[in-house]
Amino acid sequence: MTDWPPLAALEGPLLAHSYALEQMTGLAVFTPSMRLLRASPLAAWPDLVIYLDLPQSAVQGRNKGKFPPGSIYTDPGFNAAIRSYFLRLAGQKAPRVAWLDATPDLPGLARLAKSLLIKGDGSDWTVSRAERPLHTTK
């Protein structure tokens, strides 16, 4: 973990929600959130973010009451905006974003994450926007 990253890293995962809310509502919350986190002595930034890519149909199927009806976390627009945020991070050096197919069951997902983490230097943790599928099956 890095305490104070370069400015590019400030577009890290903690800002995804602010970005998505701004996209959905038009309220300017992303830039103030970035300023607040940048000034915070408590902020810590990961070197690697694993984005679990899950199609909206699977989000609905896996919810099983975890989130109440109408929750923002199951809202297709919110989830599309969160995904869009992580697409914006493609190609940045910090934080690195690994795009992981989240459709397997939990043991399968854990195996995929483990194999991703033990690859070494992280050179293949990210893929270009053109290569990143909406959803893949491993």
pLDDT along the chain (138 residues), means of 10: 43 78 92 85 74 89 88 92 85 76 89 79 44 39
For the chain, the farthest-separated pair of C-alpha atoms sits apart, in whole angstroms, at 42
In this prediction, residue 120 carries a pLDDT of 52
Q: Which two tokens stand for residue 70?
A: 């109408």
Tell whether pTM > 0.75: no
Q: Please list the helix, strand and coil fractions of the chain in percent, rounded to the nearest 5, in that order.
A: 45, 10, 45
Residues 6+ apart with CB under 8 A from 53: 83, 99, 100, 101, 102, 134, 135
In this prediction, residue 32 carries a pLDDT of 92
- Decide if 13 contacts 79 (C-beta within 8 A): no
In this prediction, residue 137 carries a pLDDT of 33
In this prediction, residue 128 carries a pLDDT of 37
**Cα–Cα distance for residue pair 125/49, rounded to 1 Å:** 10
In this prediction, residue 124 carries a pLDDT of 52
